[in-house]
Amino acid sequence: MTRRRLLIGGGVVAIAAIAVAIFLVWWLVIRDDAPPPVSLEGAVSSRQDEGTPETTATPSPAAATATTAPATATATATATSEAAAEPAGVDGTWTLAEGEESFVGYRVEEELATIGYKEAVGRSPTIEATITIEGGRLTGVTVTADLRDLKSDDPRRDGAIRNQALESNAFPMATFELTEPLAVPEGLAAGDPIAVEAEGTLTLHGVTREVTIPLEAEQRAGGLLVVVGSLPIVFADYDIDQPRSPILVSIEDNGIMELQLFLVRGP
């Protein structure tokens, strides 16, 4: 009986050890908690709930009779004023909206000792962006990011790339500027998602190259303009050397630059 209990107990311990081993393999090797690639759908869903229409208490019949006329007149005047103040279409100069999750970042595959392959993702919220639309044409785009503020899931990586690879301490700013105006699809003014390819120059690591960035955009309720884009980057094109670290086994010679912008139109 004792032997049988020992065998059963040993089996339970073995099963538990196997379960722990499987969990560790999943946690350290298989699990990928990197944020997903930027997308228009993801950007919109990342926003906080835009809220529901406000509700007010129902007044008594007497109060309703006394206040209906002046309230209606006030509401009509307010609606007319707001409509007149709201510019038509999407023409204008758009800048970053406060309180929204705008960023510029990178995405690259790396292999780490004891962990294996992992997708490293870093993002900087310290950016400036201006988009100008005139006569239904995109005439200006400037996006500048401070790469010293790139944050990933590992502060050791963040510290390393300040002096290696991107060398953001020496080359802190990355900038994209539009060089060729392009037509904006009419659907943007109606709130439909659109896709365009923006030709311009990208300055990274002190090197400027001509690039074409695919962009997606959508105008949300309240006039908020959401723009996302991603661009493959070959590190050698920007004189970026691969970083060195005892834990880093290998890293791809290319990556993805991503941007996510929430913009509002100026007066």
- The domains of the chain are located at 1-31, 37-45+85-265
Count how many Cα atoms sit within 13 Å of the Cα of residue 234 in the half-sphere of its side chain: 5
- Single out the residue of 234, 240, 193, 189 nearest to residue 215, CA to CA: 193
Distance (Å, rounded) from C-alpha 98 to C-alpha 119?
Answer: 29
Residues 6+ apart with CB under 8 A from 1: none
- Whether the CB-CB separation of 187 and 158 falls below 8 Å is answered with no
Distance (Å, rounded) from C-alpha 229 to C-alpha 152?
Answer: 19
Full-prediction pTM beyond 0.95? Answer: no
Distance (Å, rounded) from C-alpha 11 to C-alpha 185?
Answer: 66
Q: Which residues of the chain have a pLDDT value below 70? A: 1-32, 48-88, 112-117, 243-251
Helix or strand run (H / E) with residue 45: helix 40-46
- φ, ψ for residue 253 (rounded to 5)? -90, 15
- φ, ψ for residue 69 (rounded to 5)? -65, -55
What integer pLDDT is reported at residue 115 of this predicted model? 63
What integer pLDDT is reported at residue 109 of this predicted model? 86
What integer pLDDT is reported at residue 2 of this predicted model? 63
Distance (Å, rounded) from C-alpha 174 to C-alpha 160?
Answer: 18
What separation in angstroms does the CA of 186 have from each of 86, 92, 136, 189, 220?
18, 15, 8, 6, 15
At 16 the three-state DSSP class reads helix
- Whether the CB-CB separation of 150 and 165 falls below 8 Å is answered with no
- Single out the residue of 105, 130, 137 nearest to residue 119, CA to CA: 105
> Average pLDDT, whole number, for the chain?
79
What integer pLDDT is reported at residue 215 of this predicted model? 98
What integer pLDDT is reported at residue 89 of this predicted model? 81
What separation in angstroms does the CA of 14 have from each of 18, 19, 21, 26?
6, 9, 10, 18
Distance (Å, rounded) from C-alpha 226 to C-alpha 191?
Answer: 11
What integer pLDDT is reported at residue 118 of this predicted model? 81
What integer pLDDT is reported at residue 253 of this predicted model? 81
Q: Are strands 127-134 and 92-96 parallel, antiparallel or unpaired?
A: antiparallel
- Single out the residue of 218, 143, 214, 208 nearest to residue 177, CA to CA: 143
In the CATH hierarchy, which fold is given to the domain comprising 37-45+85-265?
Lipocalin (2.40.128)
